[in-house]
Amino acid sequence: MNASRAITILGSTGSIGQNTLDVVSRHQDKYSIVALTANTDVDALEQQCLQWRPEYAVMSDQSSAQQLFDRLKAAGLDTQVLAGTEGLNRVASLDQVDTVVAGIVGAAGLLPTLSAAESGKRVLLANKEALVMSGRLFMDAVHNSGATLLPVDSEHNAIFQCMPYQLPELPEHSGINRILLTASGGPFRTLPLEQFHNITPEQAVSHPNWVMGQKISVDSATMMNKGLEVIEAHWLFNVSQDLIEVVIHPQSIVHSMVSYADGSILAQLGNPDMRTPIAHCLAWPERIDSGVEPLDIFDVAKLEFEKPDLDRFPCLKLCYQAMQAGGSASIALNAANEIAVEAFLQGKIAFTAIAGLIESVLGKITITDANTLDEILTADQSARELAKSHIHNLQTV
């Protein structure tokens, strides 16, 4: 790697953003930070700006942006502070930026991530919703602009590492016959089903292996996260859902596997630390130090694998159903889940009501085409309104 890569981090105060900055801090001769963005955490973004001195910083709303601007000005920084979706889209498509880390969680990350793809950037994708909501539109943008799309999610990054360096249009032409997407099973893999109704938000966000944000942690507990990853893998690797199998692997050491026609199964192993896939994508096709301790296979000693129980994890089943339905179904699935998880974290609904709410929305929506951005955003908004109405009805019963 010769020239320094200029980076925008979408969601720099979240888990992916913080881990990216940790990796970059070890290789400041190779990478420079041009733009950092956050939701409303002014304190955290201020500290990052003071350390990294980016050209641009973006907050989600004007009020937070003004607070950040005042603080940075008082500190003597000339960082340009922007706000909202327009600001995010701008820093995702800056001419001087060649690499965009897409780490904003949820549908909020769709538009700036799409802007990065349309601008031909090297996109490090940690926002699975971009593909869940706009798979065909997003992949067309990547192909048409010549962007490079590299998966940061540990499972998809593992699959990418286990595939041929030059993948043909159809994976089966390389002898690939199955993708084995691993899942830890979350904190409730062995909890008796009769106790699920009493699960608290504090319990749901306490993942046994990974340090993640609240929303992703709840998605892992319901295995919605894994279902969304199945949809993401379908678009990333151009494989049908029939070729993607979810495997429960409690140790989170094997991050995913690819099975070949000759009987071989290739697996990527490592300690559960997001800095590994981030470093892989930052340096690809080279390798750099990530700061992660090397895996000691003698300490691991035993690796376990089991099939997922769809009665225990109904959200996983709903993802397969939405994928099968096509059109706007996966958009509605994602929107309803975001509303349901937020309601659960706020104590408005029970853990067991998350899947029920999503199923209700999927049963009520009219599945439409979702080939344009307007169609995608309309379907998303309609599903959110249905989900909020469902929660209101639950609370008034």
SS (H, E, C) 312-347: CCHHHHHHHHHHHHCCCHHHHHHHHHHHHHHHHHCC
DSSP 143-180: HHHT-EEEE-SHHHHHHHHHS-SS--SSGGGGTEEEEE
- Residue 291 belongs to a domain: no
DSSP state, residue 112 = H
Q: Rounded to 5 degrees, what are φ and ψ at 375?
A: -65, -40
- On whether residue 279 sits in a domain, the answer given is no
110 and 49 in one domain?
Answer: yes
Phi, psi of 124 (to 5 degrees): -95, 100
- Cα–Cα separations (whole angstroms), residue 8 to 25, 36, 44, 70, 333: 15, 6, 16, 22, 29
Sign of the torsion formed by the C-alpha atoms of 117, 100, 135 and 163:
positive
Rg (CA), the chain: 21
Asked whether the predicted pLDDT for residue 213 surpasses 90, the reply is no
- pLDDT reported for residue 169: 62
pLDDT digits (tens, 9 = 90+) for 318-336: 999 999 999 999 999 999 9
Structure tokens at 144: 């048409």
Asked whether residue 87 falls in the same domain as residue 15, the answer is: yes
Per-residue pLDDT tens over the stretch 73-109:
999 999 999 999 999 999 999 999 999 999 998 888 9
pLDDT at 303: 95
Compute the mean pLDDT over every residue in the chain, rounded to the nearest whole number: 93
Residue 319 placed within a domain: no
Are both 125 and 176 inside the same structural domain?
no
Among 104, 129, 151, the domain-final residue is 151
Domain end position, chosen among 151, 182, 208: 151
What integer pLDDT is reported at residue 99 of this predicted model?
98
Per-residue pLDDT for 171 more than 90?
no
Residue carrying structure tokens 């609904």: 349
- Quick one: tokens of 43? 């304190």
Average pLDDT in the 248-277 region? 96
- What is the pLDDT, as a whole number, of residue 212? 72
CA–CA gap between residue 301 and residue 295 (Å, rounded): 11
Write out pLDDT tens, residues 42-61.
999 999 999 999 999 999 99
Which two tokens mark 396?
A: 């008034």
User: Do 27 and 15 fall into the same domain?
Assistant: yes
Range of the domain at 252: 154-273+301-313
Strands 99-102, 5-10: pairing is parallel
Same domain, 251 and 167: yes
Q: What is the CATH number of the domain that holds 55?
A: 3.40.50.720
Q: Looking at the structure, do residues 139 and 169 belong to the same domain, yes or no?
A: no
pLDDT at 301: 85
* Same-domain status, 34 and 130: yes
Q: Are residues 30 and 103 in the same domain?
A: yes
Please give the angle made by the CA atoms of 372, 82 and 283, to the nearest 5 degrees: 70
Shared domain check, 356 and 261: no
Based on the fold, state whether residues 97 and 115 are members of the same structural domain.
yes
pLDDT of 106 reads 81
Number of domains the chain contains: 3
